[in-house]
Amino acid sequence: MIKNNPNLKGLNVTIPYKQEVLKYIHELDEEAAQIGAINTIRFGADGRLKGYNTDVVGFEKSLVPFLGAAIDQNLHALILGTGGASKAILYVLNKLRIKSTYVSRSANRGIAYEQLDEQAVSQHRLIINCTPLGTYPDVDQAPPFPYSYLTEKHFLYDLVYNPEKTLFLKRGEERGAKTINGIPMLALQAEASWKIWNNT
């Protein structure tokens, strides 16, 4: 593919291939190596492929202004999903010193959805959806989260950006929670990827 497209500088990788693609990569950027997942590949002149994770830049630069002053208020987070996208999210939260817990269908990593009670939800005011649930055309789907426990003190971040307002976000808004979709993250990670491809 690279030989047939000499002007091609690289490409982006999306769900569900952010970990699967690692077996084809010759070299990883330091951050990507720590995360264990990539979303950006740069084609070298020698045909070697280098992997990066610009989701880190996109998520961090969109999350910090979204949280505002709340970021310094002993904030705890729940990360819904344990796939490749969630790895970059966890990396950023650790960097920002936001304690976080994975939530999935089983308790193999973190806790299971059915273990979420009112106390757990009240203690974790940042909820991040890293699953593809709710993505078009399956707009009637949402993570099996106990939305009735959400309040105006909660922040919901959905990595999904199509549709702009997922069922996950709608249910959060109904409870007064602050919400943001994945569009700012998408744009910011794309800018970071462009700089990698063009060495700017």
Q: Are residue 116 and residue 152 in the same domain, yes or no?
A: yes
Looking at residue 109, its pLDDT comes to 77
Looking at residue 108, its pLDDT comes to 75
Best CA proximity match to 191, nearest among 65, 57, 90, 60: 57
Read off the pLDDT band of 3 (50, 70, 90).
Answer: low
Read off the pLDDT band of 8 (50, 70, 90).
Answer: confident
- The mean pLDDT of 185-198, rounded to a whole number, is 96
Asked whether residue 2 carries a pLDDT value surpassing 90, the answer given is no
4 lies in some domain: no
Q: Are residue 94 and residue 60 in the same domain, yes or no?
A: yes
Q: Are residue 99 and residue 137 in the same domain, yes or no?
A: yes
DSSP assignment string, 73-130? S--EEEEE--SHHHHHHHHHHHHTT-EEEEEESSTTSSEEGGG--HHHHHH--EEEE-
Q: Tokens 């990396």 identify what position?
A: 91
Looking at residue 192, its pLDDT comes to 97
Q: Are residue 129 and residue 153 in the same domain, yes or no?
A: yes
pLDDT one-digit tens code per residue, 119-178? 999 999 999 999 999 999 999 999 999 999 999 999 999 999 999 999 999 999 999 999
Kindly report the CATH number assigned to the domain that includes residue 33. Answer: 3.40.50.10860
Question: Rounded CA gap, 124 and 14, in Å?
Answer: 27
- Ranking 82-86, 165-169, 185-189 by mean pLDDT, the lowest is 82-86
Q: Are residue 123 and residue 39 in the same domain, yes or no?
A: no
Burial class (CB in 10 A: 0-12, 13-18, 19+), 110: middle
104 lies in some domain: yes
What is the per-residue burial (b if ≥16 Cβ within 10 Å, else e) of 137-173?
eeeeebbebebeebeeebbbbbbbbeeeebbbbbbbe
Q: Are residue 79 and residue 141 in the same domain, yes or no?
A: yes
Q: Are residue 108 and residue 177 in the same domain, yes or no?
A: yes
Q: Are residue 66 and residue 144 in the same domain, yes or no?
A: yes
For the chain, what is the domain count? 2
Q: Are residue 81 and residue 130 in the same domain, yes or no?
A: yes
1 lies in some domain: no
Do residues 167 and 139 lie in contact, with contact meaning Cβ atoms separated by under 8 Å? yes
Read off the pLDDT band of 39 (50, 70, 90).
Answer: very high
Q: Are residue 62 and residue 101 in the same domain, yes or no?
A: yes
47 lies in some domain: yes
The residue range of the domain holding 129 is 55-185
Which of 18, 50, 61, 87 is the catalytic position? 18
Kindly report the CATH number assigned to the domain that includes residue 71. Answer: 3.40.50.720
Read off the pLDDT band of 118 (50, 70, 90).
Answer: very high
- The mean pLDDT of 71-92, rounded to a whole number, is 93
Looking at residue 4, its pLDDT comes to 62
Q: Are residue 87 and residue 17 in the same domain, yes or no?
A: no
Active site residue 87: no
Asked whether residue 29 carries a pLDDT value surpassing 60, the answer given is yes
Read off the pLDDT band of 200 (50, 70, 90).
Answer: low
Q: Are residue 103 and residue 44 in the same domain, yes or no?
A: no
